[in-house]
Every structure is written in C-alpha cells, then in structure tokens.
Amino acid sequence: MNNAFIIGQYIPGESIIHRLDPRTKITIIFFFVIIVFFANSIASYGLLTVFSIGSALATRIKLSYIIKGLTPVWFLIIFTFILHLVVTREGDVLFELLSFPVYSGAVAQGSAISLRFFLLILVTSLLTLTTSPIEITDAIESLLHPLKRIKFPVHELALMMSISLRFIPTLMQETEKISKAQASRGVDFKTGPIKERLQAIVPLLVPLFVSAFKRAEELAMAMEARGYQGGEGRTKLRELKIKPIDIVTFGIFCLIIIGLYLTRT
Amino acid sequence: MDISFENVAYTYQPKTPFEHRAIHDLSFQVSSGTFVAIVGHTGSGKSTLIQHLNGLLRPTQGQVTIGDYQLSSDKKLKEMKELRRRVGVVFQYPEHQLFEETVAKDIAFGPANFGVDQAEIKKRTYEVIQAVQIPEDLLERSPFDLSGGQMRRVAIAGVLAMEPEVLVLDEPTAGLDPRGQKDIMDMFYRLHQEKNLTTVLVTHSMEDALHYADHVIILDHGTKYMEGKPAEVFVKKEELNKVQLDLPEVIQFIFKVEEKFGFRLTYRGQELSELAQELKELIRGADNHE
C-alpha cells in the first residue's frame, strides 16, 4: 500500500507512549471514549484537546504525518460540520451562506461534534500507531481474563485475533502481487466503466481466496505438528508488567477526569 | 525492443517513516534480441527493476525507455496497455495468478484483455501448450486440479499467449525439481531464439545465467555492480564474493584445477564433462613429453 492512510498501522519506536503497558493504553482509551461525551464547555474541550495533542506529541511520531494520515477521516469531520451548519437552527442567525441562514448554535454544535470526532479518532489511532498487534492481543487476553470464569474462550479469541492480525500484511502483499500479475495480463483496475472494474476484481479475488485457504491449512498443520494446545498451562514469551510509568500515566489521566468534572458547566 | 535505463531510482512510500530506496543511479542498455540475466543477492532491487519494464512502477527519478515507450516520474504513459501486451512478465510463482474455471480460459485471459479475437486465441492456445508441453486433454480441466509443475506451465502459457516481444522472467524455476527447472529454462531459450525475443531473466542460479545469457548484469544494494559477457563476469572471483555471490560450478572447477595443477583451462562455454576431458588430455600430454 503506497498511500498514507495510517489507521491500524504500527510504527515502531522507543517513546514513552510506546513503552506503556498496552493494557494501560487500552484502558485509558476506553475511558477516554466515554468521557469525550461529557465535555460541554470550551474549557473542558480545551482540556481534552491538550491531553490528546500532548499524547500525540509524546509518541515522537511527526504530528504532520499523523494528521495527514487521517485524511479520509477529515472529509467525514468536515462533512459533519457542514451538515450541522445547515441543519441546526438554534440561537441567533449569524450570517447567510448561499442563502442558508447559519445560526450561532449550529456553529457551536458543529464545532463541538467535529472536535469530539477528531479527538476520538486521534487518540484511538495513537493506540495502533504505538502498539504492535501482538501487544494489543496480549493486552486484550489479559483484560478479558476474568471472563474465563463464565467459560468464555478468551485464549482462543486472542489467538484468532493475533492470527488474523498477523496475516493482514501477508494478504496485502499477496493482493499486490496478484494484482500486478493480472495487470501484466492486461487487466485494468483503475480506469474504465464501473461494471468492467467490478469484473476485474474476480481475477484478483479467486487467487487470493485460494492462497488464503491454503495458508490456513498449512498453518493449522504446522501448529498441530508442534503440539499446539491453547489456554491452560501455556507460558508466555512476553509477560505484561505494570511499571511505575503506567501508574504515573493513570494518575495523569485521573487528573484529567477530575479536571473535566470541574470545567463542565 | 531495445531497453534502456538512465539514472533510474525508485523509492517505495516516499516521505513516510517506511520510506525505502529500492534502486538508485541505475543505468544500462539492452539491445533487442539479447538474452540478459539479472543477478543479485536478495534485496538488491531485482524485482523492483523488472516492474519498470512493463510500467507497473514508474521511476521516481530518471528515465526508462522500452522500444518507443518512455517511462518517467512526471508523465503517465498513454499507451500503457500496448506496452503491457508487448512486454510479457512471468512473475515468481506464476501459478498463484490462475483463477479461471478451465486451463483454456485461463490461457485466453491475457490475449482476450488485449482484444485478440476468439479464432486467433484458439490458434495461439494450441501453439503455447505445445511450447510448454501441456497435453491437449488438460485444456478443459480446472487449473486447480493440476500438479504444481503443470500449474506453472499453464501460467507461463498464459503469458506466452499474449505473444510478447520482450519476455521478463522472475525466477521462473523457483521451487521446481531439477528436471523441471532444466525443461523450463530450455523452453524459454528455444522460444527466445525461435521468436527472436528480448529476454530478461532474473535468477539466483549462476549456472542458468552462465548457460543461457548473452549478457549479465549484477546488482548490489539497488545499483549496478558489474556487467558484461557471462564468461567474462563470472571469472572475477573476488568481486563476486564481495557481494555474496558464488561462482558457477564450471568456473569453480577451473579455479580448483589451477590451484591443484598450476595451469588454467580457458572457458569457452564447455560443460563440466568436456572440461574434465580436456584436463585429462592435458595431463596425459604432459606425461608423454617427459
């Protein structure tokens, strides 16, 4: 993939955010997603923005790269904003835009919703940018561990997740390889009427499915040959450990929550 | 068609943390009708190079000229489809690109995309399956029922059916048994001569490069390291070892002989057995003189 779309991409690094325990990151993001909806004043929005931008800066990944990578999301944010401008009718009429009256309430609500949207996407993409897929699944397995009591197959779920995450890049490479091979045989994926372009997908999808099934079978065989047996008694190469830095981060996040409570109106 | 690279560079994902310069300052010329081998260690930029030959990639710097077509970073080629018809590429493990219900349909896929009519496709299908030695009764079978070697041949037939003027081969024998490897390489060599093709072979096998190519280009870290006639390039032992390439067996034999007996056999494209014969006569000759 040559485009700069960064959601779901992992950029290895050594920053504080990279070194946090993935469970810390996931928990904080979980609560962040909730508290974003409690913000209702300029000060509270400001606080959350400072927190998000601050975390983004702490990853040591160039902010411009992150912002650019969210391009497809920007369209959605701008679209939401414009929709609010046109539809909401509260407060005073500020000015007219192409004979549509724009209300002050609309500007306020539009900006608030767009900002919320932006913060949500930014913070959640920080998780995948700084945490490898393996770490994420380990964290999820560990966080869901209590569910084992009610016979929920936590380990199997985590295994499924890590296998599918592991194969995303492989399948992407495969897709690129096959689409190049077919392009060399005269398939045109990029131009022409929609109908033809849809038909052009068949020579891509069939080989992709064939190889995905083959891979799945080989993987299952390899796992069985090495005596894989999930769950009980299985030790881990990477043990997750809560470090002082995680506790400090949690502390900061609690302060943010308190701050948010105080700045709400 | 003549092929020429002028100071070509290609960078994957420029201006991102994943930026990767695959080839740089690459210049060479291949005249029409040549069989050229491109040799290099893994990651030396071979695969990136061949994707420039039919416009799958456009150089980020410099210019690639294939026949009358020019590829450069600033403008899109209008006749891309024409270029792709005239330059056939057999990728690594080409059997992965099979998808049709029958072998015949898969072979017809390429030519049909380039607007060749049904009657002509039929004629070509029979020609190419003969070239790749696929029996006629397999034509109506599903390509997924065939053995690995047969699938490879069918996939190659699909490229040959486009009747390209330049044939690009990316390790076409990878993963085949020794017998199959020789069969396939001999077939490509025959086609190269019969149809007067320009052939570009990317390979790990020094033997193949020595045996089939008229010209060898050695790549290292994305740029040209050496080029020349195989018999001249492959005797440069120290230079080749520096880029982790081995000598072909025949040449190794000549060096061993020199080490042991103190004289050098001249390489003129002989087989190993012929060299052994020569050596035998030389030694006997030396004995007789005493």
State pLDDT tens for residues A57-107. 998 888 888 887 787 888 888 998 888 888 877 777 777 777 777 888 888
Q: What is the CATH number of domain B3-244?
A: 3.40.50.300
Give the Cα separation of B201 and B216 in Å (integer). 9
User: Which residues, in sequence order, are bridge partners of residue B216?
Assistant: B37, B228
Q: Where do the domains of chain A lie?
A: 1-131+238-265
Which residues in A lie closer than 8 A to residue B81 (C-beta atoms)? 186, 188
**What would the pLDDT profile of A146-192 be if each residue is shown by its tens digit?**
888 888 888 888 888 888 878 888 888 889 899 999 999 988 877 77
pLDDT at A41: 87
Of A4, A178, A186, the CB nearest to B16: A4
CB contact under 8 A, B113 and A181: no
**What would the pLDDT profile of A10-61 be if each residue is shown by its tens digit?**
888 889 899 999 999 999 999 999 999 988 888 999 999 999 999 999 988 8
- Work out the pLDDT band at A200, boundaries 50, 70, 90: confident
The pair of structure tokens assigned to A30 is 């979980």
Of B91, B96, B113, the CB nearest to A187: B113
Half-sphere exposure of B260 (CA within 13 A, CB side): 9
User: Which residues, in sequence order, are bridge partners of residue B6?
Assistant: B63
Sign for the CA dihedral angle at B85, B91, B97, B100 comes to positive
Which residues in A lie closer than 8 A to residue B109 (C-beta atoms)? 185, 203
- Name residue, tokens 């296998």: A163
Do the Cβ atoms of B2 and B65 come closer than 8 Å? yes
Q: Where do the domains of chain B lie?
A: 3-244, 248-290
Does residue A172 sit at the B interface (CB-CB below 8 Å)?
no
**Mutation for B interface: A14, A171, A185, A190, most B CBs within 10 A:** A185
CB contacts < 8 A (A, B): 60
Res. A4: pLDDT tops 60: no
Give the Cα separation of B24 and B44 in Å (integer). 11
Residue of A nearest to B112 (CA): A186
pLDDT at A1: 40
Beta strands at B35-40 and B61-66: parallel, antiparallel or unpaired = unpaired
**Mutation for B interface: A62, A184, A217, most B CBs within 10 A:** A184
Does residue A123 sit at the B interface (CB-CB below 8 Å)?
no
Residue of B nearest to A178 (CA): B97
CB contact under 8 A, A211 and B96: yes
Give the Cα separation of A126 and B42 in Å (integer). 34
The torsion angles phi and psi of B65, rounded to 5 degrees, stand at -120, 125
pLDDT at A7: 65
In the stretch 30-89 of chain A, residues with CB closer than 8 A to chain B read 61, 65
Mean pLDDT value across chain A: 86
Which residues in A lie closer than 8 A to residue B51 (C-beta atoms)? 180
Give the Cα separation of A67 and A35 in Å (integer). 22
Of A4, A178, A188, the CB nearest to B96: A178
Q: pLDDT truncated to tens, each residue of chain B (290 aa)?
A: 899 999 999 998 887 777 888 898 999 999 999 999 999 888 888 889 999 998 899 999 999 999 889 888 887 888 888 899 999 999 999 988 898 999 999 999 999 989 899 999 999 999 999 989 899 999 999 999 898 889 999 999 999 999 999 999 999 988 888 888 999 999 999 999 999 999 999 998 888 888 899 999 999 988 899 899 888 888 888 888 888 888 888 888 888 888 888 777 777 777 778 888 888 888 887 766 65
- Work out the pLDDT band at A2, boundaries 50, 70, 90: very low
Of B13, B98, B144, the CB nearest to A2: B13
Residues near A79 by beta carbon (within 8 Å), at least 6 away in sequence: none
Give the Cα separation of A112 and B260 in Å (integer). 85
Do the Cβ atoms of A51 and A260 come closer than 8 Å? no
Give the Cα separation of B79 and B18 in Å (integer). 31
CB contact under 8 A, B110 and A207: no
pLDDT at B106: 92
CA distances to A48, A258, B45, B267 from A254, in Å? 12, 6, 51, 79
CB contact under 8 A, B91 and A182: no
